[in-house]
Amino acid sequence: MNLDDFIITCFCLIDEMMPMIVKEQRLRTRGPAPKLSDSEVITIEIVRSYLGLSQDKALFAYLQRHSLHFFPGLDGLHRTTFVRQAANLWAIKERLWCALRDQMITYDSHMSIIDSVPVPVCRFARAHRSCSLSRGSQRGL
């Protein structure tokens, strides 16, 4: 699947699911309407993950060069405004993720979704700096 088809497919799927996720609940109580719809913002974040772009600056530069025809609201939009809108959609993204997960589980019981976020357990250190063993036990005393 090429990138254009991927963007269109993601946007259509998310835009169809948003009314079921939001359930007539107002997301914003005041202020001007955003230049990008919530479906567009979530689609952009999925495209970022698909392309392997971890920084917002790289994502914005790429989309403004190649995909402005899909997201015309990006023209003139400041990057931090997009980042704030994306961060404020955390609860909607969680509900969307759960709905997608539940649909996948009902359709194919052999497929699983695994969260692969690394969890820091300990910091890296040289053996002589490690505090897990006392000095006496390291020397065999």
| pLDDT tens digits, one per residue of 25-71 | 777 767 778 888 889 999 998 888 888 888 888 888 888 888 888 98
Burial readout 123-140 (b: 16 or more C-beta within 10 A, e: otherwise): eeeeeeeeeeeeeeeeee
Residue spans per domain, the chain: 3-116
Give 71-110 pLDDT, tens digit per residue: 888 888 888 888 888 888 888 888 888 888 777 665 556 6
